[in-house]
Amino acid sequence: MQLSVKGKQIDVGDALRNHVEAQLKEITSKYFSETLDAQVTFSREAHLFRADITVHAGRGILLQANANADEPYPAFDQAASRIAQRLRRYKNKIKHHNHESVRQEEALMANAFVLHGEDHDREEKANDNPVVVAEMTTPIETLTVSEAVMRLDLGDLPALMFRNRANNGMNMIYRRADGHIGWVDPIHGLILTPPQQAKA
């Protein structure tokens, strides 16, 4: 596993790095034969320490979680525990995903943009053009709605666009304010809630 452990305004020592590596290996090895890479970033917010975990495990599986605590170790342990809970929730689907023999469809690549969230510049406001602060390519994979919900939950994502395996159309799922998952299917004009809910 390629592991990167970084600290923002705090020093990350060997003991903490070893703890992170041991915990992530223990969590992911139960479900994935190979973990591609993992990034853990520790930062400080006022009197609290924050741990952000991102793990790429298996084909197309992204795991993300974060937590705050009075010390770096419990912050990491809480974030890692959230990842472990989500993996347990989807244990059977992940095992099926890893062992399925059907041909995997090639993912469609799309441009993704991150826009500046606040308008600090008067000229920008006058032009009504938000500033693009990041531009990248992201895969839009062919999934069932259930698989998409699983990926949204494992990655702790606000929204996910995918090609629906049932009708080959572009669909989107998103996390609603009430904690449920919304599903948009433009082909059929549907905006509904999938039967399987992902809880934060």
Q: Quick check: 146 pLDDT over 80?
A: yes
Question: How confident is the model over 68-111, as pLDDT tens digits?
Answer: 999 999 999 999 999 999 999 888 888 665 544 334 555 555 54
Residue numbers of the domain that contains 172:
108-192
Q: In residues, how long is the chain?
A: 200
Tell me the average pLDDT across 194-200.
49
* Domain stop point among 71, 99, 127: 99
User: What is d(CA 123, CA 117) in angstroms, rounded to the nearest whole number?
Assistant: 16
Range with the largest mean pLDDT of 66-75, 156-165, 168-177: 66-75
User: What is d(CA 125, CA 106) in angstroms, rounded to the nearest whole number?
Assistant: 40
Q: What is the mean pLDDT of the chain?
A: 80
Q: Quick check: 200 pLDDT over 80?
A: no
Q: With pLDDT > 90 as the criterion, what percentage of the chain qualifies?
A: 47
* Domain stop point among 70, 99, 128: 99
**What CATH number does residue 171 fall under?**
3.30.505.50
pLDDT at 140: 85
69, 153: one domain: no
Q: Is residue 36 part of a domain?
A: yes
155, 116: one domain: yes
| Residue among 130, 125, 128, 156 at smallest CA distance from 61 | 156
Question: How confident is the model over 110-140, as pLDDT tens digits?
Answer: 544 445 555 445 444 555 665 655 555 677 8
Higher pLDDT, 118 or 198: 118
pLDDT at 68: 97
DSSP state of 70: S
Q: Is residue 199 part of a domain?
A: no
pLDDT at 41: 97
36, 124: one domain: no
Give DSSP secondary structure letters for 154-175. HTT-SEEEEEETTT--EEEEEE
Tell me the average pLDDT across 172-181.
90
pLDDT at 48: 95
